[in-house]
Chains A and B, each alone.
Chain A
Amino acid sequence: MADTVSSASVPVMPGAQGYPTALEWIARRAEAFVIPLAALIVGMALFSLFIALVGKSPMQLYETMWRGGFGSWFSIQNSLSRAAPLLLAALCVALPARLGLVVIGGEGAIVLGGVAAAAMGVATSGAPAFFVILAMGVAGLTAGGIWIGAVGALRHYRAVNETISSLLMAYIAIALMNHLVEGPLRDPASLNKPSTEPLAEAHRIGNIPGMDVHWGLVVGVIACILSWLLIEKTRWGFAARIAGGNVRAAQVQGLAVGPLIVGFTALAGAFAGLAGMLEVAAVQGSANASLAAGYGYTGILVAFLARHNPLAIIPVAFLLGGIDASGGLIQRRMDLPDATVLVLQGMLFVVILFSETLYGRFKAFNPDLWQRGDLVKRPDLLKGTA
């Protein structure tokens, strides 16, 4: 969170060094774009070496990826469809991360949100369609919120490590889903693939007009924007960032850290639960084992690549959706195994994590350091950006 630290603690002195104000304005903000972009390019260059080592042409690979993920309207819609669930799944990681919590069990909230939504959809099937979809949304939000909110509560009140507990609770959630769809909630007609009863056609969520992408994409984008506003523009978000920086300091300031942690984790889980609801209502039509498709885990990757900035999640999810979409074409055109795109994702992940250490190290991004002697006059600047 070097960007937030530097913009909050370093006083902006427009034109103080004699350079044009606009240039300084750009320089201060360029860091957040240039470093991730450079990391992406380095990651892809490393991956090229890997591809060359297995005897394939990196050029052809990137050409195929471009074609499969971004090169045509069909490919773009393909990437957006895959990005849709990742937006909400990534928020489940990014929101707690602003409080300093590493929650990696969003998958559990997704499957339980999906099951709760499916059960609600069947239970209210006699009601008007709008009400049914609304009730399903509320069910998904609630189930996911309770699940990850419990992780936050365990963290704050019982000092249970949230990373471990959320991961283990994801396994419990998947087992619970299997129990429910194979037992109490099973549609007796689903013999060889145990599922809940299918939703009526009227209770399904369709596509965005003019696109082959379901409404979940719009919901995800709105959720990302709202989350950004919450974190950056409200006092709760401010309090969360304080608590994320130093819990003791926040407590000394009189901030209610417990409710903050439980509230943020519950909201994060609610978003993941909503992703499960959308998966049921827009894609699957019922809850079954296909809900545990790994979106929760890919969401971790998206959130870390976006450096837990909800707005950055949007392009990163699109990028990963595109990499995923191109995976099929790479298999078909280049006879490379499916794991190829996983290797690329892994390399990008490692390089981006490494690039975290680069923030604040380049003088070019910090106009306060542009003139000689400033280091002597303002030693605190170095501390703030190291």
Chain B
Amino acid sequence: MTERFMLSRRELLKTSAAGAALGLASASFPISRAFAAAVTVGFIYVGPKDDYGYNQAHAEGAATLKAIEGISVVEEENVPETVDVQKSMESMINLDGASLIFPTSFGYFDPHMLAMCAKFPDMQFRHCGGMWNKDKHPMNAGSYFGYIGMGQYLNGVAAGHATKTKKIGFVAAKPIPQVLLNINSFLLGARSVDPIITCQVIFTGEWSLAVKEAEATNALVDQGADVITCHVDSPKVVVETAAGRGAFICGYHANQSPLAPEQYLTGAEWNWAKVYKMFVDDLVAGKPLPNFTRGGLADGFVKMSPLGPAVSEAARAQFDGTLAEMMKGGFSVIKGPLKNNKGDVVATEGQTFVEAAIELESMDYLVEGVVGSTA
């Protein structure tokens, strides 16, 4: 926050009058409509814009649009998944003249964004999460999402080289398919370095619950894990706690290296700038916006944080090699023979699941080597 602790007498007088003058204010001080731009794009976040995580990743994407001529960006943070978000969208349309809105939290889609799509058929809405279905949902709605599992696999490669105890840890929010795929990918990446590595997972039960995230991180380090990653909305608490305990860190959602520059190995980040620019370019060109778009590392939807100083030469070589292979396309993290951690076969010899495989969307298991339970 930029604070200016200068208060002239004139300002002070204005200030003290402000409270009393509330009723008159709207009549006597017309606000300038600074939104004369050709296109106004609205962004809505479920948490703070500077959370070093999910919301910051979107806000960084939104920030790149501000530089584009003729584009005006309006943003709202900390908007809950209730009628509030419906009203925020409506307010952006009615008061700011927004014509394209990105409600970025998963829970904004149904029923909130869909309600607004029906109410404003001429406006465009694109939601982060991959739930749009052309048989069920209107054409002014749409989805975009990224495949980030391979990013966690690369995190695992870096972690596999860094761990001395052969135990790595994962702080997870909820046992839903996306999170389970990330946990499994992290462990499988580490096992590509050394197959005796195990990964302990702790679920906090909430997307954002700082106290439990800190407790979980401490518990993982207490049990011997020396590389920690996570899938919660804001990794800040996990990163700072793990760094304080001397563990290495693999990031998630955004780049957390400023929080622990020495111990940060790498991180799986969203690259929403690319996606948002694509939508806005189409909008400015007058082309119809895509209704469904997804991509991974090779498509530029996901990127890796620069490797940190603690990453060894051997680790760097394997990391770069794996990344190059992924960029070619067709790489499978989940491939047979593979068992879950209860001993059941989840992929037979020769069976592979590329990142876009529909089976991965309903993942309900943790692979062998992950210590923890989905229920």
Q: Which chain A residues have a beta carbon within 8 Å of chain B's beta carbons?
A: 41-45, 47-49, 51-55, 57-64, 66-68, 71, 74, 78, 81-82, 175, 178, 182-183, 191-194, 214, 279, 283-285, 288-290, 293-294, 324-325, 328-329, 331-333, 337-339
Contact = CB atoms under 8 A, between A and B. Distances in A.
Given A60-B31, A67-B95, 7 more contacts: A54-B4, A62-B21, A71-B26, A82-B87, A285-B110, A293-B82, A328-B87
Given A63-B31, A175-B205, A288-B107, A58 B14 contact: yes
Contacts of A42: 19
B349 interface: no
A348 to B, nearest CB: 11
A271 B282 CA distance: 49
B4 A74 contact: no
Nearest to B207: A289
Nearest to A43: B19
A64 B84 contact: no
A279 B82 contact: yes
Contact of B16 (A45, A64, A74, A192): A45
Looking at chain B, what size class is its interface with the partner chain?
35 or more
A14 B107 CA distance: 60
Given A60-B31, A62-B25, A284-B111, A55 B4 contact: yes
B74 A332 contact: yes
A175 B1 CA distance: 35
Given A55-B3, A192-B106, A328-B91, A290 B81 contact: yes
A58 B18 contact: yes
A153 to B, nearest CB: 28
B205 A178 contact: yes
B118 interface: no
Given A78-B90, A194-B176, A331 B20 contact: no
A121 B96 CA distance: 38
A328 B79 contact: yes
B12 A338 contact: no
A134 to B, nearest CB: 22
A57 B7 CA distance: 11
A151 to B, nearest CB: 23
B274 interface: no
Interface of B: 1-7, 11-12, 14-16, 18-22, 25-26, 29, 31, 34, 48, 74-84, 87-88, 90-92, 94-96, 106-107, 110-111, 129, 174-178, 205-206, 361-362, 375
A44 B111 contact: no
A285 B92 contact: no
Contacts of A324: 84
Nearest to A338: B78
Nearest to A294: B80
A71 B27 CA distance: 10
11 contacts: A45-B15, A52-B11, A55-B3, A58-B18, A71-B26, A81-B83, A182-B174, A191-B362, A283-B111, A293-B82, A325-B91
Contacts of B79: 328
B15 A58 contact: yes
A337 B5 CA distance: 18
Given A68-B91, A283-B82, A63 B178 contact: no
Contacts of A68: 91, 95
- For B29, B91, B111, the residue with the greatest tally of chain A CB atoms inside 10 Å of its CB is B91
Contacts of B129: 192
B94 A74 contact: yes
Contacts of B16: 45, 48-49
A194 B18 contact: no
Given A74-B94, A191-B361, A279-B82, A44 B31 contact: no
A332 B92 contact: yes
- A-B pairs with the 5 shortest C-beta distances? A45-B19, A44-B19, A58-B18, A55-B4, A338-B78
A293 B87 CA distance: 15
Contacts of A41: 19-20
A360 B1 CA distance: 43
Nearest to A332: B74
